Amino acid sequence: MNTAPLHSINPILTRDLMRRVREIQIHSGRQVADVLAGQYVSVFKGRGIEFDEVRPYTPGDDVRTIDWNVTARSGQPYVKRYVEERQLTLMLLADISASQDFGSDNRSKREATAEICALLAFAATHNDDKVGLVLFHDGIERYIPARKGKQHSLRIVREVLAHGAQLSARPVAARRRWWRPFRKPMITPRHGTHIAGAFEFLTRVMRRRAVCFVVSDFLDTARGPRGYLRALQMANRRHDVVAISVSDPREWELPSCGIVDMIDPETAMPISVDTSSIRVREAFARQNQHRLARLQDDLRTAGIDLVSIDIRQSIVEPLASFFRMRERRMRR
């Protein structure tokens, strides 16, 4: 797991990074205050009570609170004691794999992921909840335990932006080797996505219940949806798991511009695509539509909510729509 400090990043990159963090802070802060904060509180209110301990039964205790297992072992009646638990823990699992660097407009998927994390973190901070972060690609890049406070939320945004930028800035010489004939591509850990691994890690470090948002493009091509679906289902039994899918419209259809040399960000394999072929463009669109439909069906079957976000459009409205949907569902 990478624990390199932020000052190890290129100074120019650091200045750009801090400017971007400030922009996100200003923009997200307004949106949280105007739209999301109240809806977040309505949907995620905490569990109300949480088990604390068992104690000997005293006359007047509610018999429904008797712990029959402890009573049977000890031969004396014991009751469960509960305490009020209003504070939530929000865990953000942010995908910073190479495919997240793609963006055909004014922001990449990774920048959109940082904005989403900012909105959620600031909404949680507004409600005095704790926020934590797991950055992952093919492995776990960084884990930040959940804490409270505005400065902690800003750190989370900074980490999402910084680590993706830091990994992207690795030497170009290694990437040039991909084009040498008769050589296999040099695959770094960031070339690949291991969603199941991120949730397996989360299960180990988070013993108490949390609301978990996983923000990714879900291009887990090596293992496919079946590779991470079970891990999400297992995590959803203990936590409240919500999937946020980020995508760029250019990923769903190819423009007609001749033969284009590309690199698959998930496998690091160089490929040439004849985008002038109608058959190729139609096959590309069908494949991606099928992948999206399968993702939606699989998550629906697993009982996990999915929020789909087009990074060229508003990020706030899909999140607000999700909160409204959850609130309506809770009232039924």
| Same structural domain, 37 and 64 | no
| Same structural domain, 138 and 280 | yes
| Same structural domain, 97 and 73 | no
SS (H, E, C) 59-103: CCCCHHHECHHHHHHHCCCEEEEEEEECCCEEEEEEECCHHHHCC
Residue 201: band (very low, low, confident or very high) from pLDDT cuts 50, 70, 90: very high
pLDDT in tens, 120-163: 988 888 888 899 999 999 899 999 999 998 889 888 888 888 87
Look at residue 116 and tell me if it is in a domain. yes
Domain span at 229: 6-46+87-331
Look at residue 219 and tell me if it is in a domain. yes
In contact, 52 and 91? CB cutoff 8 Å:
no
User: What pLDDT does residue 136 have?
Assistant: 94
Look at residue 147 and tell me if it is in a domain. yes
Residue 197: band (very low, low, confident or very high) from pLDDT cuts 50, 70, 90: very high
Residue 173 pLDDT greater than 80, yes or no: no
CATH number of the domain to which 292 belongs? 3.40.50.410
| Same structural domain, 66 and 106 | no
The count of structural domains within the chain is: 2
The helix/strand/coil state of 53 is strand
| Same structural domain, 271 and 211 | yes
Look at residue 252 and tell me if it is in a domain. yes
| Same structural domain, 80 and 91 | no
Look at residue 306 and tell me if it is in a domain. yes
Average pLDDT over residues 58-77: 86
| Same structural domain, 146 and 79 | no
Look at residue 79 and tell me if it is in a domain. yes
Look at residue 1 and tell me if it is in a domain. no
| Same structural domain, 144 and 226 | yes
Residue 215: band (very low, low, confident or very high) from pLDDT cuts 50, 70, 90: very high
In contact, 304 and 232? CB cutoff 8 Å:
yes
Q: CA separation (Å) from 260 to 50, 174, 263, 272, 278?
A: 57, 21, 10, 6, 14
The span from the CA of 100 to the CA of 191, in Å, is 10
- 239 versus 30: the higher-pLDDT residue is 239
pLDDT in tens, 254-291: 888 889 888 877 777 888 889 899 999 999 899 888 98
User: What pLDDT does residue 13 have?
Assistant: 44
In contact, 146 and 129? CB cutoff 8 Å:
no
Nearest to residue 49, comparing CAs of 81, 80, 85? 85
| Same structural domain, 16 and 127 | yes
| Same structural domain, 38 and 59 | no
Residue 310: band (very low, low, confident or very high) from pLDDT cuts 50, 70, 90: very high
| Same structural domain, 72 and 200 | no
pLDDT in tens, 78-129: 988 765 455 789 999 999 998 898 888 788 898 899 889 988 988 888 888 8
Look at residue 65 and tell me if it is in a domain. yes
Nearest to residue 162, comparing CAs of 21, 311, 290? 21
| Same structural domain, 239 and 278 | yes
